Structure 1
Amino acid sequence: MQNPHQPVYFPNLNGVRFIAAFSVLIHHTEQIKYLMGFENNYGNFFIKNMGKLGVGLFFVLSGFLITYLLFSEKKRRGDISAKDFYIRRILRIWPLYFIIVLLGFFVFPAIPIFNEPLRDQYYFDADFFKRLPFFLLFLPNIGFVFYRSPYLCAQTWSVGVEEQFYAIWPWIIKSKNPLKTFIKLLVGFLTILGLIWLYIFKISDFTEETKFKIQEGLALFFSQFRILTMMIGGIGAYLVFTKKEKILSILFRKDVQIIVYAILALMLGTGFHVPGFNMEFYGFFFCFFILNVSQNPNSIIYLEQKIIHYLGKISYGIYIYHPAVIVLCINTIHYFFGDGINHQLFNFILYPTAILLTIMVCEISFRYIETPLLKLKDRFNR
């Protein structure tokens, strides 16, 4: 019998984390080269989309795991301890989040080796202390709507979205009828949103320029407010937890796997895009992928190799630290080689160096910061 305090483990999910983290790392490497004026492949549609899709994969995975764990706790205990849930999330997420926010705002911009082109647009400018509270309150995705954010901690926008998801999701699962509660909240949210839209665009006397700026801000906010993507992961968890064998047996068939993965590869390779709902669209494919690798013994994809498992284990650190490491590596290479270095040699030095240095930083962080807190976090598993 499994110890109720023993964390639930699904195979291959560290491999999923590895794929997500390295997709974002490759995307940001080319993006940073582009921003810093070096020859780059950022214009390639696949690389340009890798970052968003990698974050989307993280979101679906997070929704899947959190939902399953909440359902599991509710079944075992008859209730969900919101206090224990939030303590676990705080111990896992907050330390690295605040480390990179403080470094990104106060330390990196003051050190020349971490200079990047956007630095002068945010470092102690007129809006410096206006944007900082958004990060301290886990609202960086909202801060993006109003202000330019420090590039080396800009990746925290997705952590903010996850924290906002965690603020409401346990209460929905905790309720007597989660589906009914979710529908009520969704209807309420859409109603409020509709009233705001009606006031701004139909009733108010705002100028057209102001309305356009508001529309742009709302579009930016909702392009990052990916709670629906995490809910797709929650749907996958519901299928597993309630043992919907008829549905799962179809999803787990080898021929279905081959067809779905072939379609996904074709769409990724051609840059297929669904305006307005692209991340949610791909989210269903990611959920299919997560369900198969974690639940299907006949999965055609296997990600339990030792190195992949390790890199997935430190993936949160990879996601948090990699932009600063990439900038450090690019500036160092440029310092020693100047502008004369060719593109192939530049990449040959940059990629292995940035990846290895990121892993080293993450190993130190995982061993001395995250692991002690994870051990403490286990005390609050129910």
Structure 2
Amino acid sequence: MTTNHDAYLARSYFPGLDGVRAIAIIAVVWHHCVRADFLPIMSRGFAGVDLFFVLSGFLIATLLIREKAKSGAISLRNFWARRFLRLMPAYYLLLFSLLAAYMLLKPNDPNAQRFIEGFHIYALYLSNWYNPGTNNMGITWSLSTEEQFYLVWPLIEAFAAPFFRLGFWIFAIFVNQLINFGIFDTTIQNIFGPGAHEKEILESTFTPILFGVALAHILDNPKYYEWVRRTVGFKYAPIATLGFLIALMNISASDISGLFRLVMHLGMTAWIAAIVIQPQSELTRTLEWRPIALIGAISYGMYLYHMWCIHIVRVLIDKVGLSQNWLQFPLSLALTTLVAAGSYYLYEKRFLNWRKKFRK
């Protein structure tokens, strides 16, 4: 048991997780394209965002836990500096580029007006509380959700005693599940008024992040690590848990809120746990295949730019007069990958290299 757990603690890189990111972003691009939904799972590409959230919760919490264990404290300054250098350069490049383009080229366009008036909402990462309604910018709600998590949870890890940290986690899960199961619907309508259901903050989006956080703490404890290893640490566990998720996502349901979504989040957490514990499994090695890992490495940029790439492809296909049904997704995925790779290697890496100054 000690050997297995020590090997886990010694790993600073978890094989297979870039591949998980790749699956998540491909699912999201698929979801936003014109598509043929032959199976229920094909209409649920939006769940790729939930998968991203589980990953973020696990990786960020693991980083914070290990820093505190080694040095006795968490440097919030260094943590937030690293997050800023990873996420904000590309995001603000997009925001200010759009602002300049709208103001110079289409100042009177209704969509331009929505963007300009709501610019501060996007800039402050608040679009999960209020959506300005700009075309192709609706996806920023999830970026706002993650940024708010990066702001709050490190404070909990740094300063809260274990008992209070657990209490905060339980309370947050409890509130999210009350919303997920619709128990708060009437209260929410009374507080926020008509259209409250359109506020993304009222979805159960923090649940997968919190499950990722829980997984990080569980695996950090030798006793609980062994329990997880016995449960989802067998040789074919990564394939078995993925099979469970695929089967679950193929259950026909018009509304996945409630128990369906809760089980989905638990299944995603179990899948990531299996991949982390079984770094030499067949599936983990497949997820490390270079083209897949590359897509995972640039997945943040792909998420940031994919709606605009889909828009460009849609316009081009219409001009040529071809069918959107079969061409839009492969062309959009290819263009999104190309744009994100260019952004990553020509622009974002300049900032990523600066993160070394904030490692200790």
Output the TM-score relative to the length of structure 1. 0.77
Aligned mates of 1:44, 1:239 — CA distance in 2: 35
1:378 equivalent to 2:356? Answer yes
Match status 1:143 vs 2:130: yes
State the structure with more CA Rg: 1
Q: 1:94 aligns with which of 85, 88, 94?
A: 88
Question: Displacement of 1:162 after TM fit?
Answer: 0.4
Are 1:268 and 2:257 matched, yes or no?
Answer: no
2:290 maps to: 306
The residue number in structure 2 matching 1:363 is 341
CA distance in 1, matches of 2:237, 2:297: 29
- Tell me how far apart the structure 1 counterparts of residues 297 and 130 of structure 2 sit (CA, whole Å): 30
Deviation at 1:298, TM superposition (A): 5.4
CA contact (8 A) 2:40 2:249 kept: no
Match of 2:36, SS state, is: coil
Change (3 A) 1:92 1:179: farther
Between the aligned partners of 2:235 and 2:127, the Cα distance in structure 1 is 41
Q: Please identify, of 295-304 and 149-158, the stretch whose mean Cα deviation from structure 2 is larger.
A: 295-304
The answer to whether the 8 A contact 2:248-2:264 is kept is no
Q: C-alpha distance in 1, partners of 2:68/2:258?
A: 35
Q: Match for residue 213 of structure 2?
A: 234
Contact 2:207/2:265, CA 8 A, preserved across alignment: no
Aligned pairs for 1:154-193 (under 5 A) are 154-175=138-159, 177-184=161-168
- Of 41, 48, 55, 1:46 maps to 41
**SS at the partner of 2:112?**
coil
Cα deviation code 1:10-36 (max 9, x no counterpart):
111110110011100011112xxxxxx
Which of 267, 282, 290 aligns to 2:264? It is 282
- 1:325 lines up with 2:309 in the alignment: yes
Give ranges in structure 2 of 5+ residues lacking alignment: 1-9, 179-184
Match of 1:84 in 2: 78
Is 1:246 the counterpart of 2:246? The answer is no
Determine which of 94, 114, 124 is the counterpart of 2:113.
124
2:29 to 25, 49, 52: 25
The whole-number CA distance in structure 2 between the counterparts of 1:142 and 1:62 is 20
Displacement, 1:164? 0.5
Matched-pair identity in %: 26
SS at match of 2:13: coil
| Cα distance in 1, alignment partners of residues 302 and 331 from structure 2 | 14
Q: Does the 8 Å contact 2:239/2:283 carry over to 1?
A: no
CA contact (8 A) 1:84 1:381 kept: yes
How far apart are the structure 1 equivalents of 2:349 and 2:52?
21
Give, in angstroms, the shift of residue 327 of structure 1.
0.7
Deviation at 1:236, TM superposition (A): 1.2
Show CA shifts across 1:149-199 (max 9, x none): 2122221111100011111111111125234235158659989xx9xxxxx
Q: Which secondary structure does the structure 1 equivalent of 2:73 belong to?
A: coil
Q: CA deviation at 1:228?
A: 2.3
Specify the code of the residue in structure 2 equivalent to 1:85: F
TM-score where L is the length of structure 2: 0.82
CA contact (8 A) 2:53 2:209 kept: yes
Contact 1:329–1:354 (Cα < 8 Å) also in 2: yes
More displaced stretch, 18-27 vs 360-369: 360-369
Distance 1:8 1:279, change over 3 A: farther
Contact 2:126 2:144 in 1 (8 A): yes
Q: Structure 1: which amino acid aligns with 2:210?
A: M
Unpaired segments ≥5 residues, structure 1: 1-5, 31-39, 113-118, 195-199, 203-209
Q: In terms of mean alpha carbon deviation, does 247-256 or 13-22 score higher? A: 247-256
Could you say which residue in structure 2 is the equivalent of 1:65?
Answer: 59
Q: Residue 352 and residue 130 in structure 1: after superposition, are their counterparts in 2 closer, same or farther (change >3 A)?
A: closer
How far did 1:381 drift? 1.4
Q: 1:326 to 1:213 in 2, by over 3 A?
A: same
Say if 1:240 and 1:366 are closer, same or farther in 2 by CA, change over 3 A: same
CA distance in structure 1 between the aligned counterparts of 2:72 and 2:334, rounded to whole angstroms: 46
* Alignment correspondent of 1:9: 13
Residues 1:313 and 1:184: Cα distance change in structure 2 (over 3 Å): closer
